[in-house]
Structure 1
Amino acid sequence: MFWLFIMLLAAQRIAEMIVARRNEQKVKKQGAVEYGEGHYPFLVLMHVLFFVSLTAEVAAFQKTLSPRWAAIICIILFVQGIRYWALLSLGRYWNTKILVVPDAELVRKGPYRWMKHPNYAVVILEFIFLPLLYGAYWTLFLFSILNACMLTVRIRAEEKALEENTAK
């Protein structure tokens, strides 16, 4: 079951990268400028290594499903709903990169009515609940810390890019 779970997550990420690439092409035609290019490869690497670590920890220590698996799965599914609500709310502007179309208006619908960065909240929750599903506590702690550091850099870069380039 674990390998099916990992394959589903990998397929999801690959599909998201395809959407991101298409959206990148669309907004670049509108004059979008990319920010945060320096940290982006580290962001991608961190996400890849998260899944490597999760897989390695579960396999090496023969972890099994948590006794609370049903509740954790419900939380994970709820979090995925927020992910796709955010993605759909941003439409062609959703991306894994920081791409800003000059003078575009900020999206303020969907979860963006209540939070500035709902997708980052989703990632924080995933880095907690995906490892919890199998008791992969080393992955949970290590990548929660790495993600917090990365999001500090990422959110600063995104906020600066949006402030300098979007319509008020």
Structure 2
Amino acid sequence: MSQVYSFIFYLLFACRFISLFISIANEKRLKKMGATEYGASNSALLTVAHLAFYGCCIWEGYAGGAFFSDNLTLAGTIVYAFSILMLYVVIYAIRHVWTVKLLIAPRAYHTINTGFLFRTVKHPNYFLNILPELVGVAFIFHAWYVLIIGLPVYLVPLCIRIKQEEQVMKQQFADY
């Protein structure tokens, strides 16, 4: 990867990594408030799928001898940067209830965000962060096999998560 693209990628990756610490802190706080976790096994599967997707993209890129300094890498970096930006927009929008797990706090602590972003995009964390993130990483590393095979595999637990989240939110919140 060219030095500029490498620096940008690692900087964005660090931002992605920092989001995990935010998630862990929020999870601890939510559980102290009495939050309930739903779909724990699917959350674990999503974590494995996410790590595998990154790992396979990196492996395919280096094994395939991609040069990482072309327009495709630039496009992937832009898409990846957009995804990280949207991740932090979502985190800021829902603050203390944002985690990588499906946790629902008691009603007194958990409100439904009805802002523009959440009215416009039903699940912005998944559609504006996760999916562009995966596509961006695949483009950066020229990982076509991972994109063609791995993304549909990843979509299975992601669709399950969305379905679980929809069910839980409708059960817990009349105004959802």
Q: TM-score range by the shorter chain?
A: 0.7 to 0.9
For 1:74, which of 71, 78, 93 is the aligned residue?
A: 78
Name 1:47's counterpart in structure 2: 50
> Which moved further from structure 2: 151-160 or 70-79?
70-79
Is the contact between residue 34 and residue 100 of structure 1 (CA under 8 Å) also seen in structure 2? yes
What letter is aligned with 2:144? Y
What displacement does 1:28 show? 1.6
What displacement does 1:21 show? 0.8
Name 2:24's counterpart in structure 1: 21
> Between Structure 1 and Structure 2, how many residues are aligned?
168
The 2-side partners of 1:116 and 1:146 are apart by 22
What displacement does 1:67 show? 2.8
Does the alignment pair 1:127 with 2:145?
A: no
Q: Secondary structure at the match of 1:105?
A: coil
What displacement does 1:8 show? 3.8
Name 2:119's counterpart in structure 1: 113
1:128-143 matches, within 5 Å, as 128-143=135-150
The 2-side partners of 1:110 and 1:31 are apart by 29
What displacement does 1:9 show? 5.0
Between the aligned residues of both structures, percent identity stands at: 24
- Mark the runs of 5 or more structure 1 residues left unpaired by the alignment: none
Q: Does the C-alpha gap of structure 1 residues 53 and 71 become closer, same or farther in structure 2, counting only changes over 3 Å?
A: closer
What displacement does 1:120 show? 0.4
What letter is aligned with 1:28? K
- Mark the runs of 5 or more structure 2 residues left unpaired by the alignment: none
Name 2:63's counterpart in structure 1: 60
> Which moved further from structure 2: 80-89 or 101-110?
101-110
CA displacement 1:74-101 (0-9 Å, x = unmatched): 3332232211101110100100000001
The 1-side partners of 2:59 and 2:72 are apart by 21
Relative to the length of structure 1, the TM-score reads 0.88
The 1-side partners of 2:23 and 2:30 are apart by 10
> Which moved further from structure 2: 111-120 or 68-77?
68-77
Q: Does the C-alpha gap of structure 1 residues 97 and 161 become closer, same or farther in structure 2, counting only changes over 3 Å?
A: same
The 2-side partners of 1:62 and 1:9 are apart by 23
RMSD of the TM alignment (CA)? 2.1
Is the contact between residue 118 and residue 124 of structure 2 (CA under 8 Å) also seen in structure 1? yes
Name 1:92's counterpart in structure 2: 96
